């Protein structure tokens, strides 16, 4: 079996699991459903490991091929074709591994749920959509996977559809992503217009021919075609990867079951935008303006969404806002042209963020689905494995050496520091401040959940092994993955992602950074010489003091700076703005069109008006029909006279 066939099988195995669970789950029962889907996803993961080893580790040349011809329109041919290179093979490994862990975890978490089989079907279908998105070698198939991920996320976030908050959350996610998709579709249309192809290879090979080409944006205003395409592409990425201001849907995705929160936030939907921008690096490298937009919005997302995590009381929402903040770090790396660092952080983040969500889910199970941290506390002695794994995830997220997040986050901070892209200094200040904010909110969650006094009455037990096994499996790479991969991914020649990433020499900050790299061990040992390290330690210490040593200080600060606290609780007013402008605004616009267009124009003028005209004409014509012959003769004579007069005078 060749590599292309194996790649197709990687995607089709989860699809087969989704179909079996969805169509025959009730017939074959719960046990058979989870065994079938887990085995098929495990097969997909093992094949992904093989492809990763062959393509990435052994350096096999990239392969691509057409599976079948999809659509023919005039001279255009659109194919279901896949590209297997270093970037796609790496993403296959990440997505399939996280999905495999989530499938196993789901057996324990969803054990008592009546929608058990349906959930397994959705999760497998979600995995299939993401794998197709990753494997696509053209924009059309990419869009197919892109929309598939969006659709299934709607189903999963609203899985408990009898809860109003779940249906609202799923609808919010769906609408926010459709806003981004408008930009994405326009970008694809522009690519087809100017490149006459949607194939990656064809488009990327022609980029230099269009670097000087402009298009009219406003009367008298022309902008670069490449910039317009890149900005539109990033609008799509902003929605999928929850960048300000299209981030509002991601916290609401917490209304879905915890396993899907882990899958959405760790390795699939939210990372799709980061992957797409990295894949489009041959386009973005030729647009300084687009890189600046990515850099500035990413930095803003990184810092200001981290602030929101500090005031959350729901343990899952703390981790959700953490995800948005970390996606900001990835976007900053993309804007600084450190695409390899963005994918590196995507990988380490997938491990420790899935770990944090699943560990939080373990706590939620033990406390009978309680998610408010104010009703937790003192859980460490009762749930030692959950506590240890959550602590590992928190340390990795906080960039404490030698955990995985330290290497990827530190590389991004240093890369931004060296970047010359406009907005880089602002971004550097934001990511540095984020180094303090991140441990502050995540260790606040650690201390409120596992330390201090018990604030619950129920008896607590450690979760079953079907829940704990994925935690342990994710904790291992959360510890060692960063140190093992930083050299090959960022500083080797060639880098691990190879030619999948394109960077212009003047933007190559990682090459400049490599002069200071002396190995993963020395990087960890020298961490104490960096400002980011001491900011992280300060964040942990602050969380410890304000939540365990002097909790009254937290209340005092809240009262002293109540206006700041209220701004954070209101999430900077984004939800209120959307509610007033978009929800109420669209409703009022609809009412206007209903009253003016429907009632007045259509009903009043066209429907009722035409009826009134006909009725008036009929009433007038009825008076003419008298029944007297001489009246009809007079009308005929008058008509003949008018006709003759027109004929004589006209000629």
State the Cα–Cα distance between residues 234 and 506, nearest whole angstrom.
Answer: 22
Q: What is the DSSP letter of 314?
A: B
Which residues partner with 215 through β-bridges?
Answer: 223
Q: Is 272 helix (H, G, I), strand (E, B) or coil?
A: helix
Whole-number pLDDT of residue 641: 85
Buried b / exposed e over 30-65, threshold 16 CB at 10 Å, is: beebbebbbebbbbbbebbeebbebbbeeebebbbb
Mean pLDDT, the chain cut into blocks of 10 residues (651 residues total): 89 93 88 91 94 90 86 77 91 91 87 85 91 91 90 86 81 84 92 89 89 81 89 91 84 81 78 91 92 94 92 90 92 93 92 91 88 89 93 93 92 92 93 94 93 84 88 93 90 86 90 87 89 93 90 86 86 80 75 77 76 79 73 80 78 51
Place of tokens 């999809």: 70
Containing 535, the helix (H) or strand (E) segment is helix 531-544
Q: Residue 453: is it exposed, middle or buried by C-beta count within 10 angstroms (0-12/13-18/19+)? A: exposed
Phi, psi of 649 (to 5 degrees): -70, -35
Length of the chain: 651
DSSP string, 589-619: HHHHHIIIIIIIIIIIIIIHHHHHHHHHHHH
Phi, psi of 158 (to 5 degrees): -95, 25
Q: Give Dmax (Cα) for the chain.
A: 118
Q: What is the DSSP letter of 586?
A: H
Taking CA 622 as the corner, what is the angle to CA 619 and CA 626, rounded to the nearest 5 degrees?
A: 150
Phi, psi of 98 (to 5 degrees): -65, -40
Token readout for 253 is: 């995705």
Residue from 402, 363, 361 nearest 101 by CA: 361
Phi, psi of 67 (to 5 degrees): -85, -50
State the Cα–Cα distance between residues 539 and 441, nearest whole angstrom.
Answer: 8
Residue from 61, 83, 85 nearest 500 by CA: 85
The conformational region for residue 285 under phi > 0 = left, psi -120 to 50 = alpha, else beta, is alpha
pTM, full prediction: 0.87
Which residues partner with 64 through β-bridges?
Answer: 83
Question: Are the beta carbons of 126 and 257 closer than 8 angstroms?
Answer: no
State the Cα–Cα distance between residues 237 and 159, nearest whole angstrom.
Answer: 25
Containing 44, the helix (H) or strand (E) segment is helix 3-51
- Bond prior to 465 in cis (omega within 30° of 0): no
Residue from 575, 514, 582, 486 nearest 250 by CA: 575
Containing 217, the helix (H) or strand (E) segment is strand 214-218
Token readout for 140 is: 């059309």
Whole-number pLDDT of residue 267: 66
State the Cα–Cα distance between residues 383 and 371, nearest whole angstrom.
Answer: 16
Strand 214-218 to strand 63-73: parallel, antiparallel, or no bridges (unpaired)? unpaired
Token readout for 259 is: 């396993």
Token readout for 284 is: 């973005």
Whole-number pLDDT of residue 37: 93
Residue from 357, 396, 387, 339 nearest 524 by CA: 396
């Amino acid at each position: 079996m060749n590599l292309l066939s194996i790649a197709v099988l990687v995607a089709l195995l989860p699809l087969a699991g989704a179909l079996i669970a969805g169509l025959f789950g009730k017939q074959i029962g719960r046990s058979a459903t989870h065994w079938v889907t887990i085995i098929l996803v495990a097969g997909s993961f093992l094949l992904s490991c093989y492809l990763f080893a062959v393509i990435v580790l052994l350096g096999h040349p990239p392969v691509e091929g057409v599976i079948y011809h999809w659509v023919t329109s005039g001279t255009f041919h659109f194919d279901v074709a896949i590209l297997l290179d270093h970037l796609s093979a790496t993403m296959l490994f990440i997505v399939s591994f996280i999905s495999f862990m989530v499938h196993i975890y789901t057996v324990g978490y969803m054990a008592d749920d009546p929608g058990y089989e349906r959930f397994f079907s959705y999760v497998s279908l979600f995995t299939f959509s993401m794998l197709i998105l990753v494997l696509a070698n053209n924009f059309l198939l990419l869009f197919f996977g892109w929309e598939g991920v969006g659709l299934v996320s709607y189903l999963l976030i609203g899985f408990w559809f009898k809860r109003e908050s779940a249906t609202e959350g799923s609808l919010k996610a769906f609408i926010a992503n459709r806003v981004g998709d408008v930009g994405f579709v326009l970008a694809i249309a522009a690519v087809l217009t100017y490149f006459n192809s949607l194939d990656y290879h064809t488009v990327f090979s022609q980029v230099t021919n269009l670097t000087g080409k402009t298009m009219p944006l406003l009367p008298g205003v022309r902008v670069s075609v490449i910039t317009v395409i890149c900005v539109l592409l990033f609008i799509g990425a902003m929605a999928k990867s929850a960048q300000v201001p299209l981030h509002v849907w991601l916290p609401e995705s917490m209304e879905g079951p915890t396993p899907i929160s882990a899958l959405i936030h760790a390795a699939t939907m939210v990372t799709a935008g980061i992957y797409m921008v990295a894949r489009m690096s041959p386009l973005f490298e030729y647009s300084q303006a687009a890189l600046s937009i990515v850099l500035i919005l990413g930095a803003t997302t990184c810092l200001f969404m981290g602030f929101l995590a500090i005031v959350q009381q729901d343990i899952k929402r703390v981790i959700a806002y953490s995800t948005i903040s970390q996606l900001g770090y990835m976007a900053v790396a993309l804007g600084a042209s450190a695409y390899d660092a963005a994918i590196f952080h995507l990988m380490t983040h997938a491990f420790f963020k899935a770990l944090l969500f699943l560990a939080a889910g373990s706590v939620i199970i033990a406390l009978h689905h309680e998610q408010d941290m104010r009703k937790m506390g003192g859980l460490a002695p009762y749930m030692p494995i959950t506590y240890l794994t959550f602590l590992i995830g928190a340390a990795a997220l906080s960039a404490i050496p030698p955990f995985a997040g330290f290497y990827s986050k530190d590389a991004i901070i240093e890369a931004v520091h060296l970047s010359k892209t406009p907005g880089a200094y602002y971004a550097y200040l934001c990511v540095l401040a984020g180094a303090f904010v991140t441990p502050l909110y995540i260790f606040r969650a650690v201390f409120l959940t596992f330390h201090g006094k018990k604030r619950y009455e129920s008896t607590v037990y450690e979760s079953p092994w079907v829940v704990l096994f994925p935690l342990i499996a994710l904790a291992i790479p959360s510890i060692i993955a960063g140190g093992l991969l930083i050299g090959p991914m960022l500083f080797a020649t060639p880098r691990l992602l190879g030619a999948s990433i394109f960077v212009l020499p003047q933007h190559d900050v990682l090459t400049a950074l490599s002069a200071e790299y002396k190995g993963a061990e020395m990087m960890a040992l020298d961490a104490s010489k960096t400002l980011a390290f001491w900011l992280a330690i300060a964040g942990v210490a602050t969380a410890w003091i304000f939540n365990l040593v002097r909790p009254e200080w937290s209340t005092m600060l809240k009262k002293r700076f109540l206006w700041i606290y209220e701004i954070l609780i209101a999430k900077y007013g984004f939800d209120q703005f959307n509610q007033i402008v978009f929800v109420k605004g669209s409703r009022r616009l609809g009412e206007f069109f209903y009253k003016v267009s429907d009632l007045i124009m259509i009903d009043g003028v066209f429907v009722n008006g035409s009826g009134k005209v006909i009725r008036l004409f009929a009433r007038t014509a009825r008076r003419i029909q008298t029944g007297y012959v001489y009246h009809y003769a007079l009308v005929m004579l008058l008509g003949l006279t008018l006709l003759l007069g027109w004929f004589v005078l006209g000629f």
